[in-house]
Amino acid sequence: MPDECFTHPVLAALYDPLDADRGDLDAYVGMAEEFGARRVLDIGCGTGVFALLLAERGIEVVGVDPARASLDVARAKPGADRVRWLHGDATSLPPLDAVDLAVMTANAAQEIVDPDAWHGTLRGARTALRPGGHLVFETRDPARRAWEAWNRAASYRVTDVPGTGPVAHWIETTDVHGPLVTFRSTYVLPGPGPALTSDSTLRFRERDETEADLTAHGYTLDAVRDAPDRPGREFVFVARRP
């Protein structure tokens, strides 16, 4: 099940205003151009920010996400009719025209914590790709232990959201168990109502584990790049269907 921050209509509508700086997507737009992609599959498309960036450039995009509330936000945006939106995930895609590029931006790959779902996602993406097409996704380097900085003191901020007012938001790590890290997001909206919370779990995969998974599913690993927005803290995997 997707997290409350993606499935709750109020929280889904707050996702973009609370994370307005999406400079992390510039590298993915650049790779779509680098690979000459004309058809792209956006796995875990969320509220559609990346899909719409590509669609504005004349690229044919399919966005798939298991959170219906996030897709509702995406579908309401200007230009949304240029994108094919699918409710679901990459393990059960309908027949698609072969795509040149499949992507999982931000935390999408790490949010797939179940091993069977992860392997199913790699299989589904490979099936959707044309021969020579690329799969690109990022994942945090576990050695950097990013979760140690996920606390209220370091993350607390207040954002003035148009139509809503000031919203206080912070995250706190609640559990670390092997490669699984769970954290809670808290949102305090104007008015007398209680705070809203969303619990999330991410899987921190080691680089060699991810490389082995890609090889096992028939990909050729072309490169492991650095994330421009988080240098030295993330792996960006660039794999290819031979």
pLDDT in tens, 72-103: 999 999 999 999 999 999 999 999 999 999 99
What is the average per-residue pLDDT within 224-233?
92
Q: Please state the length of the chain.
A: 242
Provide the mean pLDDT of the chain.
97
pLDDT single digits (tens) 98-147: 999 999 999 999 999 999 999 999 999 999 999 999 999 999 999 999 99
Which pLDDT band, with edges at 50, 70 and 90, does 13 fall under? very high
* CB proximity list for 144: less than 8 A, separation 6 or greater: 232, 233
pLDDT of the residue at 208:
98
Q: Which residue type occupies 47?
A: T
What is the average per-residue pLDDT within 196-218?
98
| 67, burial (CB in 10 Å: exposed 0-12, middle 13-18, buried 19+) | buried
What is the average per-residue pLDDT within 180-188?
98
**Which of the two residues, 20 and 52, has the higher pLDDT score?**
52
pLDDT of the residue at 20:
84
pLDDT of the residue at 11:
97
What is the average per-residue pLDDT within 56-82?
98
Q: Count CB neighbours of 154 within 10 A.
A: 11
Nearest of 90, 119, 104, 117 to residue 235 by alpha carbon:
104
What is the average per-residue pLDDT within 34-45?
98
Which pLDDT band, with edges at 50, 70 and 90, does 2 fall under? confident
User: Does residue 8 surpass a pLDDT of 90?
Assistant: yes
What is the average per-residue pLDDT within 158-171?
97
What is the average per-residue pLDDT within 3-16?
96
User: Does residue 1 surpass a pLDDT of 90?
Assistant: no
User: Does residue 228 surpass a pLDDT of 80?
Assistant: yes
pLDDT of the residue at 216:
98
